[in-house]
Structure 1
Amino acid sequence: MTARAATAAYEKWLAARIPVVPEDLELKHHELAGDPLRFLRGTYYLWLERVAVLTPELLAGPQVPTVGDLHVQNFGTWRDHRGVRRWGVNDFDELAWGPPTIDLLRLAVSAVLTPEVAISPKRICRVLLDAWSTAKPGQAVDLADSGAKHLRALVPKPSSAARYYRKLRDGAAADPSMLPAAVRKAVNVPDASWHRRQAGTGSLGHPRMVAVGDDLAREVKVVGPPTADYVDVGLQPDDLLYGRILGSLRGPDPMRRIAGWQLRGLSPDVERITIESLRPQAVELVLASMARAATDVHGALPHQLKDARRYVGALPGDWLLEATRRLVDDTKAQYEQYAAG
């Protein structure tokens, strides 16, 4: 099946389970043809299929909570319920029980596909494995801590709040009456105007709207079924994981799922660190922090992480590099086929 045929088949499956937004799917198709990294981000269904074909051995072993759709742009800042500004994994749409190898592989592939990255694939894999193997799992990084100095230096300065909220209001008007009453109540933005919003890559096509007040914004999005239900490679979705992981990490506030919708806050100080064009030492520091942040998810149940680390440690020493090379080459080939139409 070609990449375009795989995309059409997945979208047909999705549309049978949730309402989809056709114009957002068209935007997604345009995004997928942009570059290999965007293609990777938006085709998790294809990624699972290709991993099962090219590196099936990496789907074995002890299972831990996995992000699934992990990549270098799936990390950012947020405020927790106490107002602490944190940094770590910030997208949990595809949480499932699975082997940690799948997260490490996807993170490595995304780093190699990122333009203008100053270190080699071999070094990328070494940095990720070393950090993941030794990190102590816990809460997401508190950016005020002394050990987060390198992250603080790289977090972009927040944009103007007035400009940020004005841009959200530029979206087409949306009707919140379609929302379940519990969702409307949880949004809780006084005197809000409601607007459609297009964001992300993989979730484009899911109904999404935002309530915008004077200095407050809340987004709601239809969650949709996990991709692991569509591509069965042994990952086990678990509805209880979402709240458990957010709690253990001290995740964004507010961020929760209600009646099939996901609620989260939007603000101008939610920022992402990118690794493009950074000096080699900075790239290594950020990648190591990403691997540690993944460990926070994998280690929500520490005894299971211990078993998984023992299993990963017994794999051939070059397993991650060899798998990364295979999936990088395959992703580029799939992308070129897709972009050619």
Structure 2
Amino acid sequence: MSFVDQNTAYETWMRTVCDVVEEDLERKHDRMSKTAFKFLRATFFRWAHTVAATVPEIMELPAPLAVGDAHVENFGTWRDAETRLVWGINDHDDAAEIPYASDILRLAVSVRLADFSVGSRDAAQAIFEGYGEGLRDPGPTLLDQKEMWMRDYVTVTDEHRTAFWGEIDDYSGASPSSDAKSALLASLPAGAEFERFAGASKGGGSLGRPRFVAVARWRGGRIAREAKALLSSGWDWATGNAARPSRLNDAVNGATSAPDPFLHTDRGFIVRRIAADTRKVERNSDFDRKLDAKLLRAMGSEIGSIHASTPQLKQAILDDLKQRDPGWLYETAKATASAVGTDFAEWSASNA
């Protein structure tokens, strides 16, 4: 199936399971035409087809509960139940049981397509080696007690804090569905003084899904919650299993993680606390400058740690990993990035 046809099929399905925001979907289409990296971010539902067509042997590998939509912008920070600052995968919307190599391959492809200063071969080596480390010795990345070197990568400045609330204030008022409204209000602490609902237009692959924000005051300051429509994983949709329930809660609360206690699903929505220090680290000039092999190694390790939360497959994955090396990931990412580029060219031509 051509990409354009599959995209149409996916969006048709989306309209049957959530109230699609058509204006945001048009924005998504425009973003998909900008760069191959933005195209990759917005089209995880196509990934299973790309992997099966380009490196079909991956489809037969052990399949733990995986990230799914792994890429360099899918990392961020949050506070766990002990208020420790944690860094790791920020978005588990597409979590599913997926062959293990898919996650590290997609991360390596994203680095190649984003054209960072770190070379593709060095990136593949860092991701591959980090993955093995995380699989063998899993655990969360706690920036208060260990991996403190990473603080320089995620520091929240006064400008970031001001910009965060400026963005919230710029959101237009909205009237969420009754389910979204109930989910948001239920997530506020007792005694919070509700101020307003707003509509948010953010993300890459999630553009088009309804997303709302609730702003309130609580004990001397403002707080915010976000609700985004929950869908089945794009991997499950692509492999003919769209009726499978989301595995987001399972992925977030895995035994090897330190989960965000505010992140949960409710009434068909993903609900989370949003704040300046609970954020997705997105690409900008500062992030581009800081991205290096050390950070990519940490990204690979985070993926390995997540996969280790499926303990019955850990040894099988390690045994398979021994048969591979960073050169394999480099060459596989090169071929897969080329296939993504072909889809990107098709989409760009159809929207010229």
Question: For 1:119, what is the secondary structure of its paired residue?
Answer: coil
CA distance in 2, matches of 1:273, 1:164: 13
* Residue 14 (structure 1) shift: 1.3
Q: Pick from 206, 220, 224: which aligns with 1:217?
A: 224
Unaligned runs of 5+ residues in structure 2 are none
CA distance in 2, matches of 1:172, 1:332: 36
Are residues 28 and 273 of structure 1, via their aligned partners in 2, closer, same or farther at CA, if it must alter by over 3 Å?
closer
- The 5 Å alignment of 1:67-216 reads 67-115=67-115, 117-135=116-134, 136-149=136-149, 151-158=150-157, 159-176=159-176, 178-179=178-179, 182-188=182-188, 189-214=192-217, 215-216=222-223
1:301 aligns with 2:301: no
Structure 1 stretch displaced more, 300-309 or 253-262: 300-309
Question: For 2:97, what is the secondary structure of its paired residue?
Answer: strand
Which residue pairs with 1:319 in the alignment? 328
* Residue 102 (structure 1) shift: 0.4
Structure 1 stretch displaced more, 160-169 or 127-136: 160-169
Q: C-alpha deviations, 1:236-274, integer Å up to 9, x for none?
A: 956456245335311223000012111011101234175
CA distance in 1, matches of 2:348, 2:8: 15
Question: For 1:263, what is the secondary structure of its paired residue?
Answer: strand
Q: Pick from 255, 260, 265: which aligns with 1:252?
A: 260
Are residues 331 and 319 of structure 1, via their aligned partners in 2, closer, same or farther at CA, if it must alter by over 3 Å?
same
1:227 aligns with 2:234: yes
Are residues 234 and 205 of structure 1, via their aligned partners in 2, closer, same or farther at CA, if it must alter by over 3 Å?
closer
- The 5 Å alignment of 1:26-65 reads 26-65=26-65
Structure 1 stretch displaced more, 268-277 or 170-179: 268-277
Which residue pairs with 1:278 in the alignment? 289
In the alignment, is the contact (CA less than 8 A) between 1:298 and 1:305 conserved in 2? yes
In the alignment, is the contact (CA less than 8 A) between 1:93 and 1:223 conserved in 2? yes
Structure 1 stretch displaced more, 37-46 or 309-318: 309-318
CA distance in 2, matches of 1:319, 1:198: 38
CA distance in 2, matches of 1:235, 1:219: 25
* Residue 112 (structure 1) shift: 1.0
For the aligned residue pairs, the C-alpha RMSD in angstroms reads: 2.5
Question: For 2:86, what is the secondary structure of its paired residue?
Answer: strand
Are residues 230 and 160 of structure 1, via their aligned partners in 2, closer, same or farther at CA, if it must alter by over 3 Å?
closer
Which residue pairs with 2:249 in the alignment? 242
In the alignment, is the contact (CA less than 8 A) between 1:85 and 1:142 conserved in 2? yes
TM-score by length of 2: 0.87
Are residues 119 and 184 of structure 1, via their aligned partners in 2, closer, same or farther at CA, if it must alter by over 3 Å?
closer
In the alignment, is the contact (CA less than 8 A) between 2:232 and 2:243 conserved in 1? no
CA distance in 1, matches of 2:82, 2:325: 43
Are residues 26 and 51 of structure 1, via their aligned partners in 2, closer, same or farther at CA, if it must alter by over 3 Å?
same
In the alignment, is the contact (CA less than 8 A) between 1:156 and 1:273 conserved in 2? no
Q: Pick from 310, 331, 337: which aligns with 1:328?
A: 337
In the alignment, is the contact (CA less than 8 A) between 1:62 and 1:99 conserved in 2? yes
Question: For 2:292, what is the secondary structure of its paired residue?
Answer: helix
Are residues 310 and 78 of structure 1, via their aligned partners in 2, closer, same or farther at CA, if it must alter by over 3 Å?
same
The percentage of counterpart residues that share the same residue type is 26
Q: C-alpha deviations, 1:291-329, integer Å up to 9, x for none?
A: 111112101133422211212322477432221111111
The AA in structure 2 aligned to 1:226 is S
Are residues 62 and 233 of structure 1, via their aligned partners in 2, closer, same or farther at CA, if it must alter by over 3 Å?
farther
In the alignment, is the contact (CA less than 8 A) between 1:88 and 1:290 conserved in 2? yes
CA distance in 2, matches of 1:128, 1:317: 8
Q: C-alpha deviations, 1:23-43, integer Å up to 9, x for none?
A: 110111011111111100001
Q: C-alpha deviations, 1:73-128, integer Å up to 9, x for none?
A: 0011111122111101110001111221000100000011123x223222211111
Unaligned runs of 5+ residues in structure 1 are none
CA distance in 1, matches of 2:310, 2:8: 37
CA distance in 2, matches of 1:338, 1:328: 15
In the alignment, is the contact (CA less than 8 A) between 2:263 and 2:270 conserved in 1? yes
Which residue pairs with 2:297 in the alignment? 288
In the alignment, is the contact (CA less than 8 A) between 2:100 and 2:307 conserved in 1? yes
In the alignment, is the contact (CA less than 8 A) between 1:98 and 1:236 conserved in 2? no
CA distance in 1, matches of 2:137, 2:66: 13
